[in-house]
Amino acid sequence: MPKKIYTQILKDKDTNARLGYIDLPHGRVETPAFMPVGTNATVKGIYHDKIREIGYDIILANTYHLYLRPGMEVIKQFGGLHRFCSWDRNILTDSGGFQVFSLSGLRKIREDGVTFQSHIDGSRHVFTPEKVVDIQSIIGSDIAMCLDVCTPPGIAHRNAEEAWRVTRLWAERSIKERDRLGEEFRGHLFGIVQGNFYEDLRKESAQVISDMNFSGVAIGGLSVGESKEDFNHFLAHTSQFITEEKPRYVMGIGSPDYIFECVENGIDLFDCVLATRIARNGAVFTDDGLVTLKKAIHKFDERPLDENCTCTACRKYSRAYMHHLIKCNEMFGGMLATEHNLTYLHTLLERIRQSIREGFFSSFKKEYLERYYGKEK
């Protein structure tokens, strides 16, 4: 069995929200935690030093993209991704399964693996469960995800069942490859729950993956175009069948309502590109909702983005200046907004952890969401 990496400190009295920490090769991560996305070994629009300064202990990178560029030969020469990108804390890498799923007509899934064409130059490649584990071993991932079959909403039960069957087979093969590598594999392998939007398949998948020889469990197949109601339902349905002994992870979650929903259902880790993507387009998080900086109402506004925020933008600049930078498409505007959004989410998770610790998570969630979604500016 892999080493136990998750410790639960306490559980909320009214919900499944829980407080804990995950011990990883590059340090401890307090949970629940949000992870900034650094697809190409860089979180867009911000220095790694600034991400450390904000307080993040883990970021996400993408196996598919790193495999294509710069390639494993380059990363191997540097002894792994940490040295290559000068990040001395933890890195989670996804398997590339979602990116391959997104390629649609450019890939073909078989039981032995998936054949796909590069979105860069059209060259053909093959990912097998073993190869994906090997790639993440070269990367030096602190958390590595096994290859899975991601499916869209609306497919027939028989197709969802077949996708889960292949996902299970690939999970077993991923474990065998990790064990074969032995000490060469320095991180921790997570399994992925699938089953599409069918309760019976979700239950079976959650129970099987939980019982397998993984260090953690991710809930896959959510945030793939389904309604918010379906997301909430299948998140709650699935999470109840996942062991509490291992960390739980949901991919692609980054807005406050989804974050609170995940935390309430006992999820420990989540990530999303939303914070950095909207920042580059001039939208920033505040307790009073999303602020769209391109709007003319900010042209003469001398207030900071958020009076309680400690980011550079809020300490030094006005909304009027931020409005000017965004309207002029200045790179500096996107950088400041990115730092703000990542600072805001890190602080929000600190507040959530405090609410769990002090026993008022449910009331905090209610009051926060009522204020945040009450208006947009």
Alpha-helical segments (H) within the chain: 48-54, 63-68, 72-77, 81-85, 97-102, 129-139, 157-181, 199-211, 228-239, 256-264, 274-280, 312-316, 319-327, 331-358, 361-372
Specify whether 220 is located in the same domain as 107. yes
- Could you tell me how far CA 15 lies from the centroid of its own chain? 22
Catalytic residue, chosen from 12, 57, 94, 148, is 94
Amino acid at 22: I
Look-up of token digits 């064409």:
117
pLDDT of residue 1: 66
What is the domain count for the chain?
A: 2
What pLDDT was estimated at residue 108? Answer: 84
pLDDT digits (tens, 9 = 90+) for 252-306: 999 999 999 999 999 999 999 999 999 999 999 999 999 999 999 999 999 999 9
Question: Do 254 and 159 lie in a common domain?
Answer: yes
CATH number where 62 lies:
3.20.20.105
Q: Does residue 277 lie within any of the structural domains?
A: no
**287 classed as catalytic:** no
Give the per-residue pLDDT at 116. Answer: 87
Is 125 in contact with 118 (CB distance < 8 Å)? yes
Report if residue 337 sits inside a domain: yes
Domain end, chosen from 238, 272, 306, is at 272
Place of tokens 């993408």: 62
- Check whether residue 143 and residue 286 sit in a common domain: no
Residue-wise DSSP of 45-99: TS-HHHHHHHT--EEEEEHHHHHHTT-HHHHHHTTSHHHHHT--SEEEEE-SHHH
Q: What 8-state DSSP symbol labels residue 331? A: H
Same domain, yes or no: 296 and 241: no
Domain endpoint, select from 241, 272, 303: 272
243 and 315 within one domain: no
Which of 244, 272, 300 is the endpoint of a domain? 272
Whether this prediction's pTM lies above 0.75 is answered by: yes
Of residues 57, 134, 142, 271, which has the active-site annotation? 271
14 is catalytic: no
CB 69 within 8 A of CB 119: no
Q: Are residues 80 and 217 in the same domain?
A: yes
Predicted confidence at residue 78, as pLDDT, reads 98
Looking at residue 213, what is its pLDDT?
Answer: 98
The confidence score (pLDDT) of residue 375 equals 55
Longest dimension (CA), the chain: 63
Residue 162 burial by CB count (10 A; 0-12/13-18/19+): exposed, middle or buried? middle
Residue 234 within a domain: yes
CA 2 – CA 109 distance, rounded (Å): 29
Each residue of 51-95: pLDDT tens digit?
Answer: 999 999 999 999 999 999 999 999 999 999 999 999 999 999 999
**Pair (242, 366) in one structural domain:** no
Structural domain containing residue 335: 282-372
Q: How far is CA 42 from each of CA 49, 220, 343, rounded to the nearest angstrom?
A: 11, 24, 17
Position 118 scores a pLDDT of 87
Pair (236, 289) in one structural domain? no
Sequence-distant (6+) residues with CB within 8 A of 350 are: none
User: What local confidence, expressed as pLDDT, does residue 104 receive?
Assistant: 65
* Rounded Cα–Cα distance for residues 319 and 316 (Å): 10
Do 159 and 76 lie in one domain? The reply is: yes
Query: Are 187 and 254 in a shared domain?
Result: yes
- Half-sphere exposure of residue 159: CA atoms within 13 angstroms, side-chain side: 10
Q: Is residue 153 in some structural domain?
A: yes
pLDDT tens-digit profile, the chain (377 residues): 678 999 999 999 999 999 999 999 999 999 999 999 999 999 999 999 999 999 999 999 999 999 999 999 999 999 999 999 999 999 999 998 777 777 766 788 899 999 888 888 989 999 999 999 999 999 999 999 999 999 989 999 999 999 999 999 999 999 999 999 999 999 999 999 999 999 999 999 999 999 999 999 999 999 888 999 999 999 999 999 999 999 999 999 999 999 999 999 999 999 999 999 999 999 999 999 999 999 999 999 999 999 999 999 999 999 999 999 999 999 999 999 999 999 999 999 999 999 999 999 999 999 999 999 985 44
Same domain? 135 vs 264: yes
Residue 1 within a domain: no
CA-based radius of gyration for the chain: 21
| pLDDT at residue 102, as a whole number | 75
Count the Cβ atoms, other than its own, within 10 Å of residue 104: 8
Is 317 found in the same domain as 199? no
Residue 377 lies in a domain: no
